[in-house]
A and B are shown apart, each in its own frame.
Chain A
Amino acid sequence: MPALSSSFIARRILAAAALVFVVSSAALALADLAPGDYVTATIGGDPAVAAAERQRLHLDRPFAERYRHWIGRALTMDLGESFQYRRPVLGLVRERAGNTAMLALAALILATLLGIPAGIVSGSGGGIAARVIRITSLVLLAMPPLVTSFVLLTIAARTRWLPIAGMGGITHLVVPALSLALPLAAMLERLQSEAISDALERTHILAAAARGIPRRRLVWHHAWRVSLGPLLGVYGVVIGSLFSGSFVVEVIASWPGLASLMRDALMTRDAPLVAGCSAAGAVFLAAGVLVADLAHAALDPRVGAPGA
């Protein structure tokens, strides 16, 4: 594999660090700006208890002071303690990120195995198969993830073929992974279809066809390589967003991942946890983009070369 230039990698890492800093700072600030705080959990209640809790959590101090304190700890990889769980944020995030990663990887593999070949078929030829694939993709793209999740859950519940919630063996992964994978596969199919039909119009592909190279080889070997470039750019963002977690799928399928942890943190105004989950999401996004760049460089040596 052609090596990326060290300056390219360094720039990417610096950009990732800046992204993580900006995202987590913004999350902390927004959690603070939102009405209510962690202590405003009910109506009534003992004001003395509320005051004592605010003091314990330093919520009675100005935001600037709390932010300085948080930054100082964050630089040593200490993201503070969750208000509600009273556990280090890093530990909580690490636990849940692992679960989300498992789900994301499964969804990514499924989506790739379904979407890419379908896109090649629909983009390289006509016929009934191509039409069916196109319509299926449009339906899946139009369906909100919530609806997809519930349809799959209902099928699983009625047939009892698969568990419908929670984590366990590999069978527990099927419903939530499919919920994530199907809309993604539809998107990849559409992109691949466009890309392959563009690639088939390229001069060198037409020349190869004129030289008598079989259609199948032309599509699956020559044109496909050319079509991957644009697709890989999307993969970076897709990987990042998948590994940050899908709130809808995790809540509906009771998958204990990062997104459901983020949701709980937001609902309870658990500011350190909100910042920690946001930082994790930013890390995944940056990592996803870097992985995509590496793959792109493997295909196109111009990417990542010195001066790129």
Chain B
Amino acid sequence: MVRRIAAVLVLSAAIAACGGRSEDRPPANASVPVRGGSLVASLRSEPATFNRLVNGGNSSATDAITELTQATLVRVNRVTGTIEPALAERWSVSPDGRTFTLSLRKGVTFSDGVPLSADDVLFSFAVVYDPKVASVLAASLEVRNKPLRVTAPDSETVVITLPAPFAPGLALLDNLPILPKHQLEAAYAAGKFQDAWNVSTPPGSMAGLGPFVLTGYEPGQRLTFTRNPHYWRRDASGIQLPYLDSISMEIVASQDAELLRMQAGSIDLMTQADLRPQDYASLKRLAQGDGAVHLTELGPAVDANMLWFNLTRAAASRPGKSFVQRAEFRQAISYAVDRDAIVSSVYLGAATPIDGPVTPGNRTWYSDRAPKYPYDVARATALLAAIGLVDRNGDGMLEDASGARVRFTILTQANHIRGRVVTVLQEQLRQVGIAVDIAALDPRSMFQRFAAGDYDAMYYGFQASSLDPANNLDFWLSSGSAHVWNAGQTQPATPWERQIDDLMQQQMAAASLTERQRLFADVQRVFGENLPAICFVAPNVAIATSARVGGAQPALLDPKVLWASDQLFLIR
């Protein structure tokens, strides 16, 4: 076991020394694309619906299906972060930066041959904003909680006006697949949009603008996607995409079985592409051995798990837990944790120590000026003593001024790597005299406790959908629903949260990227000084594809490989 960990550490160091990110070197398996062939991908869960807009549509399964079968007005390149034309071929911007006039690509038709028009765009926006539909995508298409204004002066032009200055601009539009009005209008008018495109819908009957069409669904087994003969995108040589004839997505619920299948060569790529630390080493051996697998190292993930405390007003009055409200307490915890130990013991070396929620993987927005918390038990102890938490009875554990032991519970996810991290935290905090209890629950029980405010601290994480902080306002703003330590505030509860709110509003409206980066660096500094949530490590991302896959452009953002599915091909 020790030799295995050491081997992984050495391998990781070697890789870190000579590796680079995918955009610094030629794409994986660079060779001349050839049209034809089928790939097999794995999917870890069944889709609850094929309709991305309705409840259940935000699952990774439905998201993957949407990536393959639908298209958006613009596309955010997951590797470079730039906005690329998609269904909108070009656009112009008004001087105030709030109105975009988009010209739809000519000659585009849905997979059933019906031409795309601006009416489909208007329909898609009308549906997503309709409160009766209660779309899961609505919030991602709003600016300051207000919808975009969308009009169509003619069938090939769409005018989109932002309700307020918003620096990410058109990047928002990458969230909305353009739906076929001719197929879905009837269901929408009848108030049955929630049931449209459910999993009983015959495959092949759902028209889309994406590179593939869903042509087969065997519940619990697989989804089959076949090339969309009407797909509008061509490569630089003029060859119509996608290159592949079909993709078969096998439903494999167990990650262990998924790994075995990748090793056996019966799947070519994993849709939810992140590798577990324990899987990395075996796939690395395969990659270096017979080359059956290709591994792309992308560096630290852009999203990390975090330990946050319940800083709500209700929690502040709970007996014996007032110490968590003190920034010094949270800073002490951050100093008391040996992040390198978590990297080596839990992640087997495949992780990077971090100090804040914006990781070095987010190269555009990460600020090195944010406060750092190196492992320093003496400093942690001093901070705790400064707020009256000392060992008053010589038992090695801290007590507050009333003599009550300093103790709190961390809620986390059972049967997950998060649980292992929390076990390490428990031991490390015990070294500084803090008693930690662990409540490892299934996700829904955990969310229920969170929603009820019935917790002291929680260790969990969120998948980043965008690198741009302006697209993550629900986390940064005090009024946000994902401002987890004290969500949905009507007024900022603390001066530092008010400061972050102000900085975020400024950076959202700032004209230049440099100015936005400067403002967001200040946000990270204020966050780091007050530490409502503590981050310890970001897992290193490695994407595995079989050696016969060409054209893959692995990215840190989901869907890590399928975002450019039209350019995948088989290496002959």
On A, residues with C-beta under 8 Å from B are 34-37, 39-49, 52-53, 56, 84-87, 92, 95-96, 99, 150, 153-154, 156-158, 160, 163-167, 251-257, 260-261, 264, 267-269
Contact = CB atoms under 8 A, between A and B. Distances in A.
Nearest to B262: A157
Contacts of B48: 84-86
Contacts of A47: 481, 488
B454 to A, nearest CB: 9
A157 B266 CA distance: 9
A160 B441 CA distance: 38
Interface in B450-465: 450-451, 460, 462
Contacts of A40: 444, 447-448, 451
A87 B481 contact: no
A123 B468 CA distance: 71
A37 B444 contact: yes
B147 interface: no
9 contacts: A34-B445, A44-B475, A44-B480, A47-B488, A96-B220, A156-B264, A254-B252, A254-B254, A261-B220
A86 B201 CA distance: 11
B136 A44 contact: no
A256 B220 contact: yes
Given A44-B484, A56-B194, A86-B198, A165 B252 contact: yes
B474 A44 contact: yes
B482 to A, nearest CB: 3
Nearest to B484: A43
B250 interface: yes
B254 to A, nearest CB: 5
Contact of B481 (A41, A46, A53, A257): A46
A87 B450 CA distance: 30
A166 B134 contact: no
Given A251-B253, A252-B254, A157 B220 contact: no
Given A43-B484, A53-B134, A86-B195, A164 B49 contact: no
B221 A254 contact: yes
Contacts of A261: 220
A84 B48 CA distance: 5
A236 B154 CA distance: 71
A160 B221 contact: no
Contacts of A257: 220
Nearest to A57: B55
A49 B136 CA distance: 7
B435 interface: no
Contacts, number: 144
Interface of B: 45-46, 48-49, 55-56, 131, 134-136, 138-139, 194-195, 198-200, 218-222, 250-254, 256-257, 260-261, 263-266, 441-451, 460, 462, 474-475, 480-482, 484, 487-488
A165 B49 CA distance: 24
Nearest to B460: A43
Nearest to A53: B55
Given A48-B134, A157-B260, A252-B257, A41 B444 contact: yes
Contacts of B444: 34-37, 40-41, 267-269
B261 A95 contact: no
A248 to B, nearest CB: 9
Given A35-B441, A267-B443, 8 more contacts: A44-B474, A48-B134, A157-B260, A160-B265, A166-B250, A251-B257, A255-B220, A264-B45
Given A36-B444, A166-B250, A46 B138 contact: yes
A264 B136 CA distance: 21
3 tightest A-B CB contacts, nearest first? A256-B220, A44-B482, A36-B444
A35 B449 CA distance: 8
Contacts of B56: 84, 86
A154 B260 contact: yes
A40 B263 CA distance: 36
B251 A254 contact: yes
A34 B441 CA distance: 11
Given A36-B445, A36-B448, A252 B139 contact: no
A42 B447 contact: yes
A170 B261 CA distance: 19
Contacts of A99: 220
A35 B445 contact: yes
A53 B133 CA distance: 10
A244 to B, nearest CB: 16
Nearest to A82: B48
A260 B257 CA distance: 14
A99 B221 CA distance: 11
A49 B252 CA distance: 30
Contacts of B265: 160
B412 to A, nearest CB: 13
A48 B131 contact: yes
Nearest to A158: B264
Contact of B253 (A48, A167, A260): A260
A279 B194 CA distance: 28
A260 B220 contact: yes
A269 B563 CA distance: 31
Given A37-B444, A45-B481, A251-B254, A164 B266 contact: yes
Contacts of B484: 43-44
A156 B441 CA distance: 34
A120 to B, nearest CB: 36
A95 B219 contact: yes
Nearest to A266: B442
A304 to B, nearest CB: 39
A87 B462 contact: no
Contacts of A156: 264
A256 B136 CA distance: 28
A134 B291 CA distance: 44
A85 B252 contact: no
A55 to B, nearest CB: 10
A39 B443 CA distance: 12
Contact of A46 (B139, B451, B460, B475): B139
A44 B261 contact: no
B199 A157 contact: no
Nearest to B251: A254
A202 to B, nearest CB: 48
Contacts of A44: 462, 474-475, 480-482, 484, 487
A150 B450 CA distance: 36
Contacts of B251: 254, 256
A286 B448 CA distance: 36
A87 B199 contact: yes
Contacts of B200: 86-87
Contacts of B46: 264
Given A35-B445, A46-B139, A165 B134 contact: no
A44 B485 CA distance: 11
